[in-house]
């Protein structure tokens, strides 16, 4: 059978997503390849379909031990003979996996990198393996955001199976990371397939953090009864936010490394099983989560890098339906990340990479520029996307200029920033799906931004770098106190210079000036001090340029929510009230089936399949078969159950085939 026929028969889709077919054909032809597709772009199919062709064993190396059993369940639902081998596997399933492998029955085998590096599998797979797929391949790179030393040794393990083609897959890779993947995994003249990183179904919002809990609660409530993830920086923040959300009536649980293993396991299983709406977590949560219908991801603190943000926010809307990603930014988050990074023993090279990553995520969070454009530009892609086939030469990375930070595919270097902060307005076209393009964040006019910046910089200059951010904010707002009078600062010209702007705006502008390197926070023995930099002094002399943005107060949120639904292209928008009731009944049926089978609901059907069922109300297996995502095995296993549920709700009843 041709790949297209397998796709329709096993997975119920008529056409491939961009670059899937090219990657599959390369693998089937025995060629190595690098596949960079955004979350939801269908990376798993690139190695699962070759396994379904019956030409031999496909080995998948994945660090996501918590997810492997779910991946095996999903592959089996498509009719594949799939197993996993990892340290968390119980003795019964482990013995069965070895029996299947020894008998030649296994078509798809998931292993952790540590398990593969033991070396004893080489003999069992050498004669049958036609493809070795390395998932989450960015973990191999020092330049990436989830570097794992054991990934550097995978090439030696793959060398023991020289005839198998190699496929490296990731959702997030800058040009430098792509080149590092090629080198470290010893890909042999690989085909390179780089999809556009933009996720058009996601609505991105980034706002200054004023009241962490209140802002988080507002975001979560916009998605009442739907799946959501809230990321916080510390265990203490996680516990506090989770307790507050629970008290506010949100179905949620905390998740962090300090909890007992059983408590973490239950929270994760309840969330994936849709018995829990919201998880509040540190970054310890998420790498093993594949729930497809997460409708919101909230970062209550700023993540460590743009790559982290793309990966974590990408857990929203994996089913292609509309979802919201909100980031609440404060410069203090970057200082905390910097402090924790310094505690690790890192090479100078890695330290420079971490510092660059912190500046980049700060600029993303505060720039009054289309968020979709900023994220696309970070990964070397134009925005709006330009349709193309194979990988194209990367466009200039707007964040990175100056000193070299590592190699890129064309032999040049990724550069660090020297002050050229953001793309010009004409480079950042409106997406209609972010706070900037929805009018929720406004960029100040050039002259107003310069004047506002000079006022804030003057306050830091006049206080001689001997005070913290909070004190400088009070000075600009004209808030008199004992210290202000003691030092005579209430007599300065800058006293009350920005009192009409309000505290939230002033704090946001100072954060933006820190991120743009006009101000710096210096660690003192007692507390952090705010100081003007050489670039800040130059700006006060009208040398250089600055961009400042300010959030538009709250009523824009309703407007944003309405437009967001359009921006997500969700099928839910066309459902009538009675269809929505049927959709919820189908969700309940799916959850019941999943609970009995011990697998996540999304493994059975994505929400998009249930939405189409609720809207079209198929009455026969023939009509059910044409729904996108309805593979042959799923039709046989679940078709009549769902037809019965639809018939019970639909006024139109007919004879089923």
pLDDT tens readout for residues 509-518: 999 999 888 9
pLDDT of residue 571: 44
Confidence band (pLDDT; 50, 70, 90) for 146?
low
Q: CA–CA separation, 85 vs 111, rounded Å? A: 5
Q: pLDDT confidence of 88, banded at 50, 70, 90?
A: confident
pLDDT, greater one: 148 or 68:
68
Residue that the structure tokens 């994505």 belong to: 606
Where does the pLDDT of residue 481 fall: very low under 50, low under 70, confident under 90, or very high at 90 and above? confident
Q: Is the pLDDT reported for residue 297 higher than 60?
A: yes
Q: Given pLDDT bands bounded at 50, 70 and 90, which one contains residue 560?
A: very low
Lowest model confidence (mean pLDDT) among 100-104, 562-566, 619-623, 626-630: 562-566
Q: Residue with structure tokens 């690989």? A: 190
**Mean pLDDT of all residues in 29-33:** 97
Instruction: State both tokens at 32.
Output: 């190595």
Beta bridge partners of 610: none
Comma-separated ranges of CATH 1.10.150.80 domains in the chain: 571-649
- Angle, helices 20-28 vs 43-52, to 10°: value is 40
> Kind and range of the H or E element at 24?
helix 20-28
Instruction: Look at 145 and 386; give whichever has higher pLDDT.
Output: 386
How confident is the model at residue 394, as a pLDDT? Answer: 35
- Flag the least confident range among 429-443, 450-464, 490-504: 429-443
153-162, 199-208, 338-347, 549-558, range with the lowest pLDDT: 549-558
Higher pLDDT pick, 277 / 121: 277
pLDDT reading at 77 higher than 50: yes
Fold of 3-194: Rossmann fold (3.40.50)
pTM for this structure? 0.81
Taking alpha carbons only, the member of 430, 404, 406 closest to residue 415 is 404
Q: Write down the CATH number for the domain with range 442-551.
A: 1.10.10.10
**Residue 74: pLDDT over 80:** yes
Q: Encode pLDDT of 150-164 as tens digits.
A: 888 899 999 999 999
Best CATH choice for the domain 571-649 from the list 1.10.600.10, 1.10.357.10, 3.40.30.10, 1.10.150.80: 1.10.150.80
pLDDT, residue 143, reads 58
The arithmetic mean of pLDDT across residues 591-608, rounded, is 92
In this predicted structure, what is the pLDDT of residue 652?
44
The pLDDT score that the predictor gives to residue 574 is 53
Q: What band does 386 get if pLDDT is binned at 50, 70 and 90? A: low
The pLDDT of residue 18 is above 80: yes
Q: What is the CATH class of 202-390+431-436? A: alpha beta
SS (H, E, C) 300-352: CCCCCCHHHHHHHHCCCCCCCCCEEEEEEECHHHHHHHHHHHHHCCCCHHHHH
pLDDT at residue number 526:
66
Contacts for 121-128: CB closer than 8 Å, 24+ residues apart: 121/85, 122/157, 122/160, 122/161, 125/57, 125/59, 125/101, 125/161, 126/160, 126/161, 126/163, 128/56, 128/57, 128/104
User: What is the model's pLDDT at position 541?
Assistant: 94
Residue 176 has pLDDT above 80, yes or no: yes
The CATH 3.40.50.300 domain(s) of the chain lie at: 3-194, 202-390+431-436
* Sequence-ordered list of residues with C-beta below 8 angstroms from that of 177, at least 6 positions apart, any chain: 138, 141, 143, 144, 170, 307
Q: What is the pLDDT of residue 554?
A: 53
pLDDT surpasses 50 at 461:
yes
> DSSP assignment, residue 544?
S
Listed residue (434, 574, 422, 379) closest to 512, CA to CA: 422
Conformational region of residue 502, where left means phi above 0, alpha means psi within -120 to 50, and beta covers everything else: left
Residue range(s) occupied by CATH 1.10.10.10 in the chain: 442-551
Structure tokens, 561: 């929510």
Q: How confident is the model at residue 339 (pLDDT cuts 50, 70, 90)?
A: confident
HSE at residue 299, side-chain half, CA atoms within 13 A, is 31
Average pLDDT for residues 469-492, to the nearest whole number? 91
Banded model confidence at residue 422, pLDDT cuts 50, 70, 90: very low
């Amino acid at each position: 059978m041709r790949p297209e026929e397998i796709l329709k028969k096993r997975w119920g889709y008529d056409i491939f997503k961009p670059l899937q077919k090219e990657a599959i054909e390369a693998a089937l032809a025995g060629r190595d390849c690098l596949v960079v597709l955004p979350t939801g772009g269908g990376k798993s199919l690139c190695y699962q379909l070759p396994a379904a062709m019956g030409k031999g064993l496909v080995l998948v190396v994945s660090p996501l031990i918590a997810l492997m059993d779910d991946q095996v369940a999903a592959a089996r639902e498509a009719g594949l003979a799939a197993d996993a081998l990892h340290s968390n596997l119980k003795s019964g399933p482990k013995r069965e996996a070895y029996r299947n492998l020894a008998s030649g029955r296994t078509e798809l085998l998931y292993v952790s990198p540590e398990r593969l590096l033991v070396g004893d599998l080489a003999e069992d797979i050498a004669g049958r393996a036609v493809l070795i797929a390395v998932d989450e391949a960015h973990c191999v790179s020092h330049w990436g955001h989830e570097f794992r030393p054991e990934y550097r040794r995978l090439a030696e393990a793959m060398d023991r199976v020289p005839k198998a083609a190699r496929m490296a897959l990731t959702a997030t890779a800058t040009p430098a990371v792509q080149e590092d993947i090629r080198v470290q995994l010893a890909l042999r003249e690989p085909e390179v397939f780089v999809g556009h990183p933009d996720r058009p179904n996601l609505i991105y919002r980034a706002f200054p953090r004023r009241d962490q809990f209140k802002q988080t609660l507002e975001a979560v409530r916009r998605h009442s009864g739907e799946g959501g993830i809230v990321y916080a920086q510390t265990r203490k923040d996680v516990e506090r936010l989770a307790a507050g959300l629970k008290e506010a009536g949100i179905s949620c649980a905390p998740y962090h490394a300090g909890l007992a293993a059983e408590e973490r396991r239950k929270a994760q299983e309840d969330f994936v099983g849709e018995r829990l709406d919201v998880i509040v977590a540190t970054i310890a949560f998420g790498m093993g989560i594949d729930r497809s219908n997460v409708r919101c991801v909230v970062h209550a603190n700023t993540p460590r890098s743009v790559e982290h943000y793309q990966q974590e926010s990408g857990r929203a809307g994996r089913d292609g339906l509309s979802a919201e990603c909100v980031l609440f930014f404060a410069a203090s988050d970057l200082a905390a990340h910097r402090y924790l990074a310094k505690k690790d023993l890192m090479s100078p090279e890695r330290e420079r990479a971490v510092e660059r990553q912190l500046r980049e995520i700060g600029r993303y969070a505060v720039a009054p520029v289309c968020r979709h454009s900023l994220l696309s530009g970070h990964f070397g892609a134009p925005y709006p996307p330009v349709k193309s086939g194979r990988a194209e030469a990367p466009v200039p990375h707007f964040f990175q200029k100056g000193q070299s930070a590592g190699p890129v595919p064309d032999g040049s270097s990724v550069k660090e920033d020297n002050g050229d902060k953001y793309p010009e307005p004409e480079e950042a076209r409106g997406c209609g799906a972010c706070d900037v393009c929805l009018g929720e964040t406004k960029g100040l006019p050039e002259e107003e931004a310069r004047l506002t910046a000079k006022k804030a910089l003057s306050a830091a200059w006049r206080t001689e770098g001997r005070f913290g951010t909070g004190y400088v904010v009070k000075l600009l707002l004209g808030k008199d106190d004992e210290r202000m009078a003691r030092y005579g600062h209430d007599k300065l010209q800058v006293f009350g210079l920005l009192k009409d702007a309000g505290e939230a705006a002033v704090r946001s502008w100072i954060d933006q000036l820190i991120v743009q390197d006009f101000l710096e926070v210096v660690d003192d023995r007692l507390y952090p001090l705010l100081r003007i930099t050489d670039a800040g002094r130059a700006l006060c002399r009208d040398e250089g340029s600055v961009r400042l943005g300010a959030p538009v107060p709250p009523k824009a949120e309703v407007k944003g929510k309405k437009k967001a639904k359009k921006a997500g292209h969700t099928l839910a928008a066309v459902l009538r009230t009675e269809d929505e009731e049927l959709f919820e009944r189908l969700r309940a049926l799916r959850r019941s089936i999943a609970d009995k089978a011990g697998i996540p609901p999304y493994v059975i059907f994505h929400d998009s399949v249930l939405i189409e069922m609720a809207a079209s109300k198929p009455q026969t297996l023939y009509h059910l078969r044409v729904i996108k995502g309805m593979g042959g095995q799923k039709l046989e296993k679940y078709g009549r159950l769902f037809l019965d549920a639809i018939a019970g709700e639909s006024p139109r009843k007919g004879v089923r085939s």
